[in-house]
Structure 1
């Protein structure tokens, strides 16, 4: 589970569990993650689950369709947090649905397209069914107000998207799965123990080393003779 607002992960999970059951994470216009009742007849999913953020990010970035990457890297970074939070509070009878819309791969004049998908955890793996890889609706909505009824992928009704990804398994052309890597909390640091990567305090310098360093400062005219003599006497008195 990802750290939320600087809180340790376990505190963040506890805060989510104590809060009212959230079902909607709207990131911007036509970009959201929602919790919805699972499709009729679906087996209970393995929710709630705390997933590893980096593993989820890596697998989403690996997704491809006929025209290239399904999501841009910055788009994935935006989606990871709400997906983690939704998985952490989802009930076994709920699915996650995703709509992500953007002008991928170009500037302001590029047309905007949407990606729609359904996600859930089953068999120890994240299941992702993509309905639309590039849904073209934004311009029509801007001009005529035509807002589509979004569909998000179905266990029983195959969509037209063909999704692949290096190292990812496929159940169907539109359905990929990847390991539901659990969040692993950092090992607690025992009192008095320093890990290998933790810098250690430098040993205190002895009086001889301090006197030599003081003389070098004087010889290089970095301190005056008076300052040198005064500090020298302080060091000698500490012997």
Structure 2
């Protein structure tokens, strides 16, 4: 379920790692300063016309557009802080085959939370944000697989709504598999649930699971969200499952009763594992990783089977 690894992917990872290592937290567009002044300037410019996509790299994107036909009006514009949006994003958990994972990585949260806050402050009752986010969700480092989420976000009934069309999609593997055509992203639909998407709930706070692909998260107060953000930065957060729509804890056993959608993707799962093994072998043969690293990652892949 995770992508093949390419030389271009490795080069981009090296460049990104070097860039992040040199970045200092500075005053930005928002007081809590998620990033430096250059990104703040980009967000300021984007806020003038959020119908034009805000982009990060080749894939990550956020854009304001008209709501889908027949959608009920949303409670927008709304003034939320990046901390409030971030707290909602980092609590969502999904099922990915046999595992329970966070929907968004911390890097995705920090990248998108300020932009979502801006977009919702500019949106009308008949608009919503569509997004593509990419992040690493299995391990970290240069050979970590990157997967994508695609969906919609809007504010209604005091809750931040995330409607997903795809979660942890092997977008690089799909792009490089045979045709090398760009992957097709699905933002989800109000009319019917997306196949293969299984949102479990939140790790803390309160949320309403509208459908398996749609969750409405109660927005915490700005003070509580800011405290949670600070605790995450210090590595002290170990949230307990919520009483409403709880997700299994991080150390919960593997899902024992997969949904019909998961059953339907069994063949795809094993095909992706084969692809991962072949990619690792190629990287070792080309001297991109050591034999020890190859054996370690190979063992991790077999644990998934």
Bin of the TM-score, shorter chain as denominator length: 0.5 to 0.7
Find the partner of 1:131 among 161, 165, 169. 165
Alignment partners' CA distance in 2, 1:175 and 1:7: 28
Q: For structure 2, which runs of at least 5 residues remain unmatched after alignment?
A: 1-25, 33-39, 224-305
Residue number in structure 2 paired with 1:25: 54
Residue number in structure 1 paired with 2:146: 112
Alignment partners' CA distance in 2, 1:118 and 1:6: 23
Alignment of 1:124-203 (within 5 A): 124-142=158-176, 144-159=179-194, 160-163=196-199, 164-166=201-203, 167-180=206-219
1:40 and 2:79 correspond: no
User: Does the aligned pair in 2 maintain the 1:125–1:177 contact within 8 Å?
Assistant: yes
TM normalised by structure 1 equals 0.65
User: Does the aligned pair in 2 maintain the 1:61–1:71 contact within 8 Å?
Assistant: yes
Name the SS for the 1:116 alignment partner. Answer: strand
The verdict on how the C-alpha distance between 1:102 and 1:16 changes in structure 2, with shifts beyond 3 A counting, is closer
Alignment partners' CA distance in 2, 1:182 and 1:96: 22
Higher relative helix content: 2
Name the SS for the 1:109 alignment partner. Answer: coil
Alignment partners' CA distance in 2, 1:145 and 1:75: 25
Give the superposition deviation at 1:88: 1.2
Residue number in structure 2 paired with 1:93: 126
Alignment partners' CA distance in 1, 2:218 and 2:180: 40
Alignment partners' CA distance in 1, 2:167 and 2:176: 20
Find the partner of 2:83 among 41, 54, 57. 54
Deviations 1:209-235 (A, max 9, x none): xxxxxxxxxxxxxxxxxxxxxxxxxxx
Give the superposition deviation at 1:110: 2.7
Give the superposition deviation at 1:181: 5.3
Q: For structure 1, which runs of at least 5 residues remain unmatched after alignment?
A: 185-239
The verdict on how the C-alpha distance between 1:7 and 1:153 changes in structure 2, with shifts beyond 3 A counting, is closer
Alignment partners' CA distance in 2, 1:137 and 1:21: 28
Is the radius of gyration larger for structure 1 or structure 2? 1
User: Does the aligned pair in 2 maintain the 1:38–1:94 contact within 8 Å?
Assistant: yes
Give the superposition deviation at 1:41: 0.8
Aligned length: 178
